[in-house]
Structure 1
Amino acid sequence: MNVRRVDNLAEAADLIARATAMQREVFNGGHSAEETLARLQRSKGTEQFWVAEVSGEIVCAGRLTLTPNADFAGLWGGATHSDWRGKGIYRALTAARAGAALAAGKHYLHSDCSPMSRPILERSGLFPVATTTPYIWHR
């Protein structure tokens, strides 16, 4: 398994397209590769995109957001393909993103995670301080 940051690579567009396709499958929707690439470009380095690969296949992906002028970094969009769950890959991706946050001088992580990710994040040392209820408001 290889875990690495990919938004800063020459082949970023291809890797992010493959990763977002996997994420869209896992989440049954979500951001397109184009939306993700535009978001990363707008972030000017405060947002990173990470993947975990096995034999060249992207099996897990997620973003790290480094909040400017704060001690916080956010873990977002973490997804593992169903065929690869239960093998410690999401945990390895989380650890790599946490290490990058520490290297960037961040001391705290936050994540608005799914019920599937929550136990893994808690075993990694994060603890819940609040919950959110997402909704789409219509007039």
Structure 2
Amino acid sequence: MMKPDVTTTVVNKQYSSTAKHCGSVVRDFSKSDAVNVRDYRANSEKWANGRIHSQTGPLSYKVDINGTLWRRHVDQIVGTSKDQPSNSTSIVTADIPFIPSVNTSGTTDKLKDQVTNSGTSATNVEPRRNPTRNRKKPDRLNL
């Protein structure tokens, strides 16, 4: 009876584990690659355009942004094409009003009636997300 090869089993498990966790994203940049780099300065865009200047460690790079060298980890760098704007990786959201699909309290019907009676559009009025608060006057100690 043959016993299974433990070394091959361990290597296969390690390979499948790293493939599962690391994915297929290549996080390796070469000199003069066009990249977007995370910008942590106040009152600035989230990402800045730059080019890889040099690799300073296994996972860190020096990036040239308009003549200034920034040191960034590979997690803070996103590869991009040369002609892509710096804010292209940011998410653009439209101003779409929230209209609930489930009517549980009947308050949205009242709001719609109020809106149609006042002449404004129903999309500008948002229903309350929480109940109104019942307020009582404080019970003071009257001596």
What TM-score results when the alignment is normalised by the length of structure 2?
0.17
User: Which structure has the greater CA radius of gyration?
Assistant: 2
Structure with bigger helix share is 1
What TM-score results when the alignment is normalised by the length of structure 1?
0.17
Structure with bigger strand share is 1
